[in-house]
């Protein structure tokens, strides 16, 4: 039943060892989060590579040399970030050239690119920038479209060294546009996504596995399945070790799973809940308004991250006082006094008020006690109690949720629960169904 996939290159028999060296005192002092690990780890994972190790060390030359020597001896591919800039604590280039026994040579093409960049910004290039115009004598240059320091690429001893600049807006496009294609050409990563990913929402990891297992069982060990749980969202990744199943077969399996999951299936790939909602709103030419207390602006921000948000985002209101709810959204004072601001009644009134005031087709309201420092409500609801409401053309409903944990976690989970409810309603509207939103899997 399982035929060998012809479109897929076989996964390497002996997996290659990747190490990531992130350089900089600012990482070790906790001044900057290590976003390079998150980004590069995820990108490699999508191409079938599990990063073996990430080491963060200081800017000190001896520490860099010691660590690089050790990593270079063990790994097949070493990626470094940071320390390529113009200042005196940027030592990566010089130190690594020393360890590899290579000379650094001046590259006039890099100097030209830097001069053009400074000219475009109307600034004068200071002499210390010239340090960035040196490359390895037996190495290549990865041009930097978003900054002055280019990346550097060295193949030596049957291994690869890839040196990337520290700023994320320079590193990230360089990694996707230049590094991944070079690694794929050398067979060190797959030349396509290593798995087909289904994103799901509103269903736990073990329940998801139970529902999909009958599909997976039909393929035995030709199929590999991994689950990744996020807040209120679980990804399921199907792949084929050794390439026994073709991409088309994996996609067919994923489609069967999506069918089985119904509304719990969010989409293929890596789109966020907010992006999926935004696309559905745009496709249906509908507008959304939001009103939030406990999530403090994060629900609105999830939408304004999307491109061209003005087309579908009618506006948002962040309030915690009853005054603001009454003034901006015409929520009746008597309702707030009787039921409290953290109640199903208040949530419904807020959602309806937001939709009507802002002229939106859909509206989400989130009200609650988010974190340890919040006081409990008049209705005796404990901290972590959240009410969300959805106003849609078909009606308006509310749900009560309860999330334990710290404030930041509660906020993210409440935002995701609200987004997922909206997504389900939009999916139903697109399908032309008139099923009331209360049938949602999240409903209590």
Site residues (CB under 8 A) for a second copy? 25-35, 37-43, 45, 50-58, 63, 67, 168-169, 228, 230, 290, 296-301, 303-305, 307-310, 313-321, 323-324, 327-328, 357-359, 373, 405-407, 409
Residues in a beta bridge with 392: 395
Q: Shortest distance, CB of residue 398 to a second copy, whole angstroms?
A: 21
Q: Which is nearer to a second copy, 22 or 178 (CB)?
A: 22
In 10 A of CB 412, how many CB atoms? Answer: 18
In 10 A of CB 406, how many CB atoms? Answer: 12
Q: Which is nearer to a second copy, 61 or 298 (CB)?
A: 298
Alpha helices by DSSP H, listed for 332-441, are: 333-339, 344-358, 407-430
Alpha helices by DSSP H, listed for 121-236, are: 168-174, 180-185, 205-217
Q: Shortest distance, CB of residue 273 to a second copy, whole angstroms?
A: 16
Identify the residue whose tokens are 């406990």. Answer: 294
Q: Shortest distance, CB of residue 300 to a second copy, whole angstroms?
A: 4
Three-class DSSP category at 239:
strand
Q: Which is nearer to a second copy, 40 or 110 (CB)?
A: 40
Alpha helices by DSSP H, listed for 22-60, are: 25-28, 35-46
CA distances from 359 to 32, 288, 300, 389 (A): 41, 9, 16, 17
Q: Which is nearer to a second copy, 235 or 264 (CB)?
A: 235
Can you state the angle between helices 322-329 and 344-358, rounded to 10 degrees?
A: 40
Three-class DSSP category at 440:
coil
DSSP string for residues in 102-154: --EEE-HHHHHHHHHHHHHTT-PPPGGGGGGGEEETT-EEE--TTSSS-EEEE
Q: Shortest distance, CB of residue 145 to a second copy, whole angstroms?
A: 12
Q: Shortest distance, CB of residue 28 to a second copy, whole angstroms?
A: 4
Q: Which is nearer to a second copy, 102 or 231 (CB)?
A: 231
Q: Which is nearer to a second copy, 25 or 111 (CB)?
A: 25
Q: Which is nearer to a second copy, 3 or 327 (CB)?
A: 327
CA 320 to chain centre: 29
Q: Which is nearer to a second copy, 170 or 425 (CB)?
A: 170
Q: Shortest distance, CB of residue 379 to a second copy, whole angstroms?
A: 16
Q: Shortest distance, CB of residue 88 to a second copy, whole angstroms?
A: 14
CA distance 425 to 433: 9
Are 48 and 189 in contact by the 8 Å Cβ rule? The answer is: yes
């Amino acid at each position: 039943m399982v035929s060998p996939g012809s479109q897929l290159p076989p996964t390497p028999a002996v997996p290659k060892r990747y190490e990531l060296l992130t350089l900089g005192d600012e990482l070790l002092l906790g001044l900057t989060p290590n976003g390079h690990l998150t980004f590069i780890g995820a990108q490699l994972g999508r191409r079938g590579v599990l990063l073996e190790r990430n080491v963060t060390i200081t800017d000190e030359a001896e520490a860099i040399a010691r660590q690089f020597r050790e990593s270079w001896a063990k790994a097949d591919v070493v990626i470094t970030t940071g320390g390529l800039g113009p200042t005196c604590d940027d030592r990566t280039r010089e130190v690594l050239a020393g360890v590899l026994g290579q000379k650094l040579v001046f590259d006039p093409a890099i100097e030209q690119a830097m001069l053009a960049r400074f000219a475009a910004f109307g600034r004068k290039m200071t002499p210390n920038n010239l340090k960035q115009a040196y490359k390895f004598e037996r190495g290549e240059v990865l041009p930097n479209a978003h900054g002055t320091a280019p990346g550097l690429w060295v193949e030596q001893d049957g291994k690869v060294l890839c040196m990337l600049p520290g700023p994320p807006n320079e590193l990230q496009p360089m990694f996707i546009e230049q590094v991944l294609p070079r690694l794929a050409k050398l067979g060190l990563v797959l030349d396509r996504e290593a798995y087909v990913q289904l994103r799901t929402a509103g269903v736990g990891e073990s329940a998801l596995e139970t529902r999909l297992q009958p599909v997976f069982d039909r393929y035995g060990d030709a199929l590999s399945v991994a689950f990744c749980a996020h807040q209120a969202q679980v990804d399921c990744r199907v792949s084929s070790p050794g390439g026994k199943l073709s991409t088309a077969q994996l996609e067919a399996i994923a489609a069967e799973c999506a069918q089985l999951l119904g509304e719990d299936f969010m989409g293929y790939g890596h789109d966020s809940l907010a992006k999926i909602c935004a696309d559905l709103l745009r496709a249906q030419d509908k507008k959304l308004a939001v009103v939030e207390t406990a999530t403090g602006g994060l629900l609105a921000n999830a939408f304004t991250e999307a491109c061209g948000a003005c087309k579908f985002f009618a506006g948002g209101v962040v309030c915690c006082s009853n005054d603001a709810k009454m003034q901006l959204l015409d929520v009746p004072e008597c309702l707030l006094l009787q039921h409290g601001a953290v109640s199903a009644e208040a949530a419904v009134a807020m959602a309806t008020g937001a939709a009507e005031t802002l002229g939106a087709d859909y509206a989400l309201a989130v009200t609650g006690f988010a974190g340890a420092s919040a006081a409990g409500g008049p209705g005796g609801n404990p901290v972590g109690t959240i009410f969300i409401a959805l106003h849609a053309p078909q009606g308006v409903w509310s749900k009560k949720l309860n999330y334990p944990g710290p404030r930041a976690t509660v906020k993210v989970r409440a935002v995701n629960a609200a987004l997922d409810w909206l997504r389900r309603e939009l999916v139903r509207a697109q399908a032309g169904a008139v099923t009331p939103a209360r049938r949602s899997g999240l409903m209590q």
